[in-house]
Amino acid sequence: MYPFRTESTEAGCPKKIAIPDYFSLYNSSKRAITDNISSQFVYYLNLTSNHGKAGDCIECRQCEKACPQHLKIVEHLKDVSELFDNGRAYRQNNQLLPYVGYPRTLNAIRCLNEIIPE
């Protein structure tokens, strides 16, 4: 699990990666009761429309220098990328791509709720 939001890490990123938001989504997916992390995936896709993806990290480590918690952010972003960019979340939810964007996000979640068993 990664820490709570710190604006200073995002501010120094040359790729404009939304580090705190991505860590929050990753944490939520790990705390989820079921394997269905579609809502986190949709939020991730929405964020990547204005920010770099976790996998876009160039390992400049500017975020680590700015991090007040002294985290190995570059390594943690690899975990986030593995889950959301091309990992399990992507494979489960890539059919959602036409629905990305609010209120389309709500439509995508509704569609998933109709087809995924509880």
Helix spans in 5-117 (H): 7-11, 19-31, 38-48, 62-66, 73-84, 88-93, 104-115
Residue 2 inside a domain? The answer is no
Q: Give the residues across from 86 on adjacent strands.
A: none
Residue 1 inside a domain? The answer is no
What local confidence, expressed as pLDDT, does residue 1 receive?
45
Higher pLDDT, 110 or 75: 75
Residue 71 Ramachandran class (φ > 0 left, ψ -120 to 50 alpha, else beta): beta
Residue 14 inside a domain? The answer is yes
Question: Mean pLDDT throughout 74-80?
Answer: 95
Q: Which domain holds residue 100?
A: 7-115
Residue 91 inside a domain? The answer is yes
Is the pLDDT at 8 greater than 80? The verdict is: no
Question: Mean pLDDT throughout 26-50?
Answer: 82
What local confidence, expressed as pLDDT, does residue 110 receive?
72
Residue 79 inside a domain? The answer is yes
Residue 50 inside a domain? The answer is yes
Residue 27 inside a domain? The answer is yes
pTM: 0.68
Structural domain count, the chain: 1
Is the pLDDT at 53 greater than 90? The verdict is: yes
CA–chain centroid gap for 7, Å, is: 16
Is the pLDDT at 77 greater than 80? The verdict is: yes
